[in-house]
Amino acid sequence: MKAQLWRDYDVPQEKIEQLRAKVYEFCAQNPDTIEIEDVKNRILSPDDVLNNNLDANNNKTTDWMLKRFLISSHKEVDAALLKFTEFFTFRKQYKMASMSVENVLPSEFFKIHPFDCEGFDNNGNRIFTVRLKYYRKMPQFENIIKRGIIYFTELLDLEYEQGLCDGVCLIVDVQDFSVSNLDMDMLQFLVKQTPTLYSGLVRCCLIYETPFLLSYLFKVVEGWLPSSTDKNGNKRKFFHAVTKKNIHEWIDADQRPYFLSGSRTVSLTVPSSTLAFDQFVRHSNEIEEQNAKKIKEYLDQLVSA
């Protein structure tokens, strides 16, 4: 039986309004801790609710974000406020208030396709695949990758909020991933930190085609998060090691791209507003020159391969 979605949980409106008030009180008292515009993008203010201004964000903002914090805090308002503080402090760190396709990834990334956000699994979850074969341990490169992960996760969370998908099936594609590039911090960010902060969104995580030398990774990753149970007390597995032979049990072939042994066409269209890496670096003004040179050489190598 399909597990109930978090966004459909019954959370008392009184609790939601209490948390909303505390959130905006916190914002007023701690303007340097979070980005108020980021908060407004995802959480309607008490004034908007009071004045029935539900179109403040083009009628796309629900109480999902507040419900998320309350559900993950057993509906305790003060504990939920701490969840809010943690998540929106994280969001400020990665400048989510101003994040857009123009400043999150250079155009080269759309040509090599390290992130894939199309298709659905057999439970109606949107598929989000991160192909680790493209990751390299280079100074400041990980910041680009992390922002890419966050950018797509945010888009998927907005889809989830609007009922356009039932959640996310995160696929960590480990094919051709080199042991020399293993970065436990990056892996933890991908499969633990981001799904935990976006609680309720990621429904399962598939580790795809783990090379023998990295087979221990599955047990490491599996141990990062506590096991959960459904309402009947049955243990629910979050992580699954899958291969070409059994991935069809989770995702049909027409919903999988070629690199997951499927037939779905991959879109390699580069958004017109994206910038080539050289321009991207100048625009962001955050990547040091010596690091930018190494990253560009690597991207050029990938694009021409």
Q: What are the distances in angstroms from CA 261 to CA 210, 240, 253, 255, 264?
A: 15, 17, 7, 10, 9
Q: What pLDDT does residue 235 have?
A: 59
Which band of pLDDT confidence, cut at 50, 70 and 90, is reported for residue 55? low
Which band of pLDDT confidence, cut at 50, 70 and 90, is reported for residue 297? very high
Give Cα 177 to chain centroid, integer Å. 21
Q: What pLDDT does residue 225 have?
A: 64
Buried b / exposed e along 126-139 (16+ C-beta atoms within 10 A):
bbbbbbbbbbbeee
Provide the CATH number for the domain formed by 101-290 in this structure.
3.40.525.10
Q: What pLDDT does residue 229 have?
A: 47
How far apart (Å, rounded) are the C-alpha atoms in residues 109 and 302?
Answer: 9
Q: State the pairing for strand pair 202-208/168-173.
A: parallel
Which band of pLDDT confidence, cut at 50, 70 and 90, is reported for residue 10? very high
Q: What pLDDT does residue 220 have?
A: 78
Q: What pLDDT does residue 215 have?
A: 78
Strand partners, 190: none
- Region 7-12: mean pLDDT is 93
* Percent of the chain's residues with pLDDT above 90: 74
Ranges of each domain in the chain: 6-97, 101-290
pLDDT at 102 over 80: yes
Q: What is the pLDDT of residues 262-294, one digit of tens each?
A: 999 998 889 999 999 999 999 888 899 999 999
Q: What pLDDT does residue 226 have?
A: 57
Query: Are the C-beta atoms of 183 and 52 separated by less than 8 Å?
Result: no
Residue 218's H or E segment, with its range, is helix 216-222
Closest CA to 280 of 97, 109, 136, 92: 109
* Percent of the chain's residues with pLDDT above 70: 93
Q: State the pairing for strand pair 239-242/235-236.
A: unpaired
Q: What pLDDT does residue 1 have?
A: 45
Query: Are the C-beta atoms of 251 and 121 separated by less than 8 Å?
Result: yes
- Region 9-15: mean pLDDT is 95
Query: Are the C-beta atoms of 229 and 236 separated by less than 8 Å?
Result: yes
**CA within 13 Å, CB half, 113:** 15
Closest CA to 193 of 162, 217, 224: 224
pLDDT at 135 over 60: yes
pTM: 0.92
Which band of pLDDT confidence, cut at 50, 70 and 90, is reported for residue 153? very high
How far apart (Å, rounded) are the C-alpha atoms in residues 238 and 222?
Answer: 8
Query: Are the C-beta atoms of 137 and 118 separated by less than 8 Å?
Result: no
3-state DSSP call for residue 171? strand
- Region 204-225: mean pLDDT is 80
Q: Between these two residues, 73 and 236, which has the higher pLDDT value?
A: 73
Query: Residue 120 carries which DSSP code?
Result: B
pLDDT at 101 over 50: yes
Q: What is the pLDDT of residues 29-53, one digit of tens each?
A: 999 999 999 999 999 999 888 877 6
